[in-house]
Every structure is written in structure tokens, then in C-alpha cells.
Chain A
Amino acid sequence: MGILVIADNDNESIKAPTLVTVAAALQIGDNVDVLVAGSGCGAAGEAAAKIGGVNKVLVADNDTYGHDLAENLAALVVELAAGYSHIMTSTTTSGKNFLPRVAALLDVGQISDITAVVSEDTFERPIYAGNAIATVQSSDSVKVITVRGTAFDPVPADGGSAAVENVGSVTDSGVSTWDREQIVERDRPELTAASVIISGGRGMQNGDNFTLLESVADKLGAAVGASRAAVDAGFVPNDMQVGQTGKIVAPELYVAVGISGAIQHLAGMKDSKVIVAINKDEDAPIFQVADYGLVADLFKAVPEMDGLL
């Protein structure tokens, strides 16, 4: 029995978390197929065929799959599910949206956000904002799984030569329609793919002050993130939130500026390789996870750092 990985894609390309999910799938078994669903997604399908270790690529190219509407995507996956022992995708907002629907339609549980494969039916996953790691075993006939994007080393995006097959089926549930989106375009790496991240919190005081962080980020090729407090206060958009309920990141270097270090923020960044904290309060909990802590006023320290880079 094979494993089906549903690729996170933007029709043109395959998103980085998919390479991580394929890596996790290959730890379970070696017969891994990838489904690329989208609208005009031929290019993404071809990209998927090059992913290392992939057996076969299924391409479902239709308008109904263009915006990842959960009802349509889940119906497609359920239709293809027969013959697969595991159905997996990445813990992205799209994966979190449609995969539980797949599980319920198959009348099985879902194992969310796994960080390790113990065996084909046993996995590790963080609970309580990462304050505990549960080892869970599933007795379901099909294992439905989302994979944390920071937990496995990605497979190479190139080198494979999987066969590509078109899937003709089309489902439009008719219960939901996509209206519009506001996608923030940035000339920086995506948070979940960046090797350096500099994040600001409430201590930044306003959105304009984030230019201080952007200037440093430009020099380091870094992404800019934020705490929930900074997003709630309207300093920056929601897609920049790092944490239990935002994005989970694990870059080589994470610099937290004016962030106190609440459990929910730590949940999203404490697996970073090196953590730097800049905070004027020496008792801020962020210092407990920082490799290098600097007790200072960020409005002095960040420009000074910028000057030294």
C-alpha cells in the first residue's frame, strides 16, 4: 500500500513544506505518490515529478481546485484514497483546513502536526504549545496525518523523475465559493523557509518602527516576523505571526526584539538553532530560551546592530 502526499502548491510551483512532508512519508514507506490539485497547475505537477523519492504524481487540474476550497479538495482526496495506507499533507493553513475533512469522510482520526515517525502507525506530536510531546498510535485503517514543516529535513526538490498522471474527476460541492484574497507580497524569504528571522513584539511600539528590523533583515537575507501582540495592535499583518497559533519556525538564527517570550510565542520558535533576545527587561522569559541575551533598549541596540553588519 502506498502513501499519498497532497502537495501545497501555488499552481506554478511546489511550496517548501511539501518537501518536508515527502521526507516524513519516506520514513514510513517507499511508495510515495504526490497529488497536485489546482487550476492551471501543470507547472506545479511537473515540479512535483522532480521531487526526490516520489513514485508517481497525480495532477487534478480544474477551476474547482484553484483556491484550495476544503469541500472540493477533500472530496477529491477521498475519491483517490482507496489503496493508500497513509494520507499526508503539511501543517499549513490549507492542510489544516481540508485534511480533517478527509479524515472525517473516511471515518478515521487525524494525527496533527507530527514531528517524528516512530513506526508506520506511531508518531510523535507536540501538545500544550510544545510543552509536552505525545507519542500516539493509530489503529485506523488509513492514517491521516499533517506534518510540521520544521521537523524533518526536506527531500531535494530536484533529481526525481516520477510519472505524471492526470486525474479527471471534478467535484464542486456548491456550498462554498472563493471571493478574493489579500496576499502580502514581500521581497523577502517566507517565514517558514527563512534561515534567519528577526521578529518584533509590542516593544516595537508601532508599525513604522518595523523598518528598523527590515533594515537588519535586508543585510542578513532574513524574514521579518512578529508576536501576536504586534499583530493584534495592527503594527503588521497576521501572516507575520510566529507562535502556537501562528507560524512554527526553526531557522538557524531567530532574533526576538521587544518580545517578552510568552509560552505561545515560544511554541513557534524555540526549536530555532540559535536564539537572540533583545529586551530592556532582564526578567523577560524570552531570556530563558535565548543563547545570546542583550538587555538593552531596542531603539538603541537595533540601529547599532544594523551599523555593524
Chain B
Amino acid sequence: MKVLVAAKRVVDYNVNVRVLSDESGVDLNNVKMSVNPFDEIAIEEAVRLKEAGKAEEVIVVSVGSSACQEQIRTALALGADRGILVETEEDVQPLGIAKVLKAIMDKEQPEIVITGKQAIDGDNSQTGQMLAALGGYGQATFASEVELGDGTATVTREIDGGLETITVKLPAVITTDLRLNEPRYASLPNIMKAKKKPVDTYSPADLGVDVTPSITTLKVSPPAERQAGITVETVEELVDKLKNEAKVI
């Protein structure tokens, strides 16, 4: 069985992003870029399936500029077997990414595709679900536990009220939540080995996919600033302020 995982190159989660003064976007100059944290969890889950003897091959896909090679290499160092870069300078939106992933699914015929539940730059939380729809596959989003059965996956999902468990037929798309696993760190020997693993490069056109976006960003502005607050010295003062100044209790 093959497992396909998606890895997006995003601003590292520790970076406090700043909006550019011309409101055209956020400042990405000299900013640390990483694998989207939810995709690290996806890679980890796929690699564990391989280590458990349930998957033969883990393929990682990234869509974006040639710089995404870096994130593919990271995934290879974490245990993925080979990479696919779908190279484009276009700012591809979730529907376009889903179409690209669908084309790769058609090519590679994986039983399971694992994506993150959300990319922490656009905070869209759409791609996995869209991919499942395009292929007519079942989806198990926001997974915190995955168990493979005979041609099925039983997945515990994090939902607003708590947890729910569903079973999806394979092939299926799973999207990861934070508590699915704790990703490992790449060891130096594995980083070296990763350099020799194969990475194929395609353009969206090679895959017959049109990734022209239908949603245009007109501007990006900073959020409303909060007024600076005050420090209170005692609990008594705090309770008094909440009652008499803020009037919220």
C-alpha cells in the first residue's frame, strides 16, 4: 500500500508575521520557513504506518516554488521514500492544490492520502476535504487516532463537542489534528540519506491541471490593536476593577 502525504512550505509557527506597509501581503523576507506543523504530523503518521509494516511506500508532495525542495527534503529525512514537487510561482489556492493532488493520486494510486487539517499561513482548512470530494473518496478530518482495518480506516476525530469515531473505506483522505502523534526529529544520518532519495518535478500543466485562482486578495491589513492594559497589584484590586471599572462581573 502506498501513502501520499502533502507538505506545504509555510512561515515557521514561531514567527510573528508583520503586514507590509503597502498592504500587499505579509513580510516574508528573511523569515524562517518550515513544513506546516500539521503536515509534520501527517508525515509522522505515514512513516509510522510504514514502520508498522502496513505501508510499503510513503510519497511526499509539495506544491509551490522550487524552494519547496527544502520541505520535501525534510520529509524525506523524516522517513518518506520519495518526493514530488509540483512547481509553480502562482499562489495556488486550496481548490487548485486539491486538483493537483487528485492528479497525483490518479498517477500513483495511493490507498491513503494524509494532509494537515489546516495550513497555518492561510488558515483555510479546505484542501483535504476538496481532494476527497474530487475523487469521490471518503474523508476523515481532524484525526487524533487512525487504525487501519481491511480496506478501511477507523478514525477518531476531534470535534467541537469532544471526539467521534468514523470508519471510511479506502482510498480515503485523512487530515491530521494536533494530537494524532508527536513528530520525531530528523537524525543527521537520515538527513544525509535524504539527499539521495528521488524527487520528481512537474508543473501543474504537466499534470493537466489549471490552478488559476478564483479568489483574489485585494489587500492585507494589520488587525485592530488592543489598547495597552494595566498591571494590578492585588487580587482585591483586580476584582474591584472588574466589578466597577470594566463592569463585566
Contacts and interface: CB of A to CB of B under 8 A. Distances in A.
Interface in A7-45: none
A196 B16 contact: no
Nearest to A290: B229
Contacts of A98: 129
A64 to B, nearest CB: 13
Contacts of B136: 173, 175
B13 A264 contact: yes
Interface string B144-185: 100000000010011111111111110010000111000000
A138 B220 contact: no
A1 interface: no
A183 B140 CA distance: 18
Interface residues of A, number: 88
B147 to A, nearest CB: 11
A212 interface: no
Nearest to A115: B223
Contacts of A179: 154, 164-167
Given A96-B141, A109-B93, A181-B162, A253 B249 contact: yes
A74 B161 CA distance: 21
Contacts of B26: 127-128, 131-132
Contact of B248 (A122, A253, A309): A253
B197 to A, nearest CB: 30
Interface string B91-108: 001110010000000000
Nearest to A243: B178
A135 interface: yes
Q: How large is the interface on B (under 10, 10 to 19, 20 to 34, 35 or more residues)?
A: 35 or more
Contacts of A294: 231-232, 234-235, 238
Interface in B96-148: 98, 117-118, 120-127, 129-134, 136-142, 144
A104 interface: yes
B117 A253 contact: no
Contacts of B222: 131-133
A276 B159 CA distance: 28
B52 interface: no
Interface string A105-119: 101111111000000
B230 A101 contact: no
Interface stretch (B57-65, B68-76, B77-85, B239-247): B239-247
A176 B139 contact: yes
Given A67-B164, A136-B218, A247-B160, A176 B126 contact: no
A288 B172 CA distance: 44
B140 to A, nearest CB: 7
A308 B235 contact: yes
A94 interface: yes
B170 to A, nearest CB: 9
B196 interface: no
B217 A71 contact: no
Interface in B212-232: 213-223, 226-227, 229-232
Interface stretch (A54-62, A151-159, A162-170, A232-240): A232-240
Contacts of A107: 95
A137 B161 contact: no
A289 interface: yes
Interface in A216-269: 220, 228, 231-232, 237-239, 244-245, 247, 252-253, 263-264
B126 A70 contact: no
A82 interface: no
Given A113-B123, A179-B165, A309 B138 contact: no
Contact of B167 (A176, A264, A295, A296): A176
B123 A175 contact: no
Top 7 A-B pairs, shortest CB-CB distance: A175-B138, A104-B130, A100-B129, A104-B133, A100-B126, A291-B229, A181-B164
Interface of A: 67, 69-71, 74, 92-94, 96-105, 107-113, 122, 126-140, 173-184, 192, 196, 220, 228, 231-232, 237-239, 244-245, 247, 252-253, 263-264, 270, 273-276, 287, 289-296, 301, 304-305, 308-309
